[in-house]
Amino acid sequence: MPRQSISLTEKNDAWLKYHVEDAKEYASKSELVNELIRKARRNETINQKLIEAENSGFVEQTKEEILSDFKKDLNSK
């Protein structure tokens, strides 16, 4: 796995430390940062789908079909 070196503000570092060391929600800061990136990527995908939907006009798919297509797209990335 590629390694990165990043600089954090004191507040961001304290936030990461709290969730890893105090709340014990994650095993490491790396694990938490990767989770945040996954969530950001998912949000980016959702936002792009919303923009595409707004620009495309009306659709003939049911809401279930739209949800199914969306889940397929998420799982393929």
Contact 35, 67 (CB under 8 A): no
pTM for the predicted model, two decimal places: 0.67
At residue 58, what are phi and psi to the nearest 5 degrees?
-75, 150
33-74 residue pLDDT tens: 999 999 999 999 999 998 988 888 777 888 899 889 988 888
Q: Both ends of the chain: CA-CA distance in Å? A: 18
Distance CA 4, CA 22 (A): 24
Closest by CA position to 41, among listed 73, 64, 68, 14? 73
Of 75 and 39, the structure prediction assigns the larger pLDDT to: 39
